[in-house]
Amino acid sequence: MGRNRDLVFEACRPETDLPFTEAEFADRLRRIRARMDAAGVDVLWLMSPESLYYVSGYTCIWYQAQSPRSWPATSGIAIHRDRDDFILFDTPSEAVMCRYVTCAKDVRIFPMGGRRDGLGFIIDELTAEGWLGTGVLGMELRNYRPNPVISRRFQDAFEGAGMRVADATDIVREVRWIKSPAEIACLEKAAEIADIGFRAARDAIRPGVTELDVHAEMTYAMGKAGGETAALILPVNSGMKANCGHAAPGRRAIRAGEQVNIDISGVYNRYHANAGRAFFVGEPPKDVLDYHKLSWGVFDVIDGILRPGLPVAELVATTRAYYEEVGIWSDAGWVGGYELGLAFPPDWVGAYVYEMTDTDSERVFEPGTIVNFESQFYAPRMAGITYYVDTLLFKEDKALRPLTFEPKLVVVDG
């Protein structure tokens, strides 16, 4: 009975496929434990896809985020601030996967009888290790996985095991703010992939093709270049839809005389480089083109101040002053940016966001950080939002916009 299954569980060990070295993962764990110590957290329980990946390399296609009640999300990672290793818990279905996509040395698989709900097993194992019984246990209470009901079950179980539960969502998020050289290399590769996507979109846009046609071509091109599925649906919005920031691509046929807005994140090892570009099918009206020039002109201003250690307040004040000087500020849609980097569906927007009101911010863009900058204004004739978004990457020796597909209105044959 079960001989084939037992053989798989005991002997199937695919070649390891880790995105980073074990030394990189060890450094991440060290910094997380230091942050736990500073926050007074004894045990950290992680369940968000980003955290599982950041700590171990864990990558999966299904996280039980919206699963039936009988299949609750229970896989996760436990970290103790005084231990040199972490424990990865998962279902039997992922036992083989855990062997080749993670650096985990201590993997504990739920018993077959409780394969879908490992909460009791997790509590028993951590208690036997001496990790529970007293102290503070941190959970990622502001993340979508697990949902509120399952999160409450975990909190009750940990409290029942003698722990005081605290919100520790920001521990891993804050550690992730500064990227290592290996992460920066992924981000630069992601920018190259985004460039490929924009070139494919430019070549695909013409009257009669649908938004989904363009979406398919740019997605195919990025996939052929080694790009992964982005953490958001990539918008392709034409005509009046170009006045929407977050509409999904549809079956609408693109027409001559229309603007087409596209938002792309190139993705490499789950690291995202984000950019938005506007296209016009045929010759754009002069007033529309002139207005777009004012919107994309902000990037010349940004290039003039871009440097490692740039204060957020300086970026905000300088760009807003430009918009007010050229007279378009009153038509702003959204201007600002947010942290980029590691992301899984359903969101690539990072934990940190800055807006044009952040004139008193004391934060700086240290070396190793990455954000985007969005310049979105409502153009004349309801032609569409001036959809110019670019990535700002801050390295040790320089800061740059790593994409080469420039933020300008791209005119295609109409």
- Which three-class secondary structure string do you get for 292-337? HHHHHCHHHHHHHHCCCCEEHHHHHHHHHHHHHHHCCHHHEEEEEE
- Is the alpha carbon torsion for 91, 95, 97, 99 positive or negative? positive
Element (H, E) at 224: helix 211-224
* Of 319, 286, 279, the residue nearest 408 (C-alpha): 279
Q: Are strands 364-365 and 353-355 parallel, antiparallel or unpaired?
A: unpaired
**Residues β-bridged to residue 136:** 164
* Residue 358, both tokens: 């952040």
Cα(272)–Cα(228) distance, integer angstroms: 10
Q: Does domain 3-176 have CATH number 3.40.350.10?
A: yes
Chain center to CA of 37? 26
Question: Could you read off the pLDDT tens digit of each residue along the chain, which spans 414 residues?
Answer: 568 988 888 898 888 899 999 999 999 999 999 999 999 999 999 999 999 999 999 999 999 988 899 999 999 999 999 999 999 999 999 999 999 999 999 999 999 887 789 999 999 999 999 999 999 999 999 999 999 999 999 999 999 999 999 999 999 999 999 999 999 999 999 999 999 999 999 999 999 999 999 999 999 999 999 999 999 999 999 999 999 999 999 999 999 999 999 999 999 999 999 999 999 999 999 999 999 999 999 999 999 999 999 999 999 999 999 999 999 999 999 999 999 999 999 999 999 999 999 999 999 999 999 999 999 999 999 999 999 999 999 999 999 999 999 999 999 998
Cα(193)–Cα(25) distance, integer angstroms: 25
- What ranges do the domains of the chain cover? 3-176, 181-412
**Residues β-bridged to residue 378:** 385
Distant-in-sequence, close-in-space partners of 74: CB < 8 Å, separation ≥ 6? 64, 89, 91, 110, 116, 117, 118, 119, 122, 146, 150
**Residues β-bridged to residue 279:** 260, 410
Question: If one looks up domain 181-412 in CATH, what number appears?
Answer: 3.90.230.10
- Is the alpha carbon torsion for 397, 344, 350, 330 positive or negative? positive
Cα(175)–Cα(197) distance, integer angstroms: 30
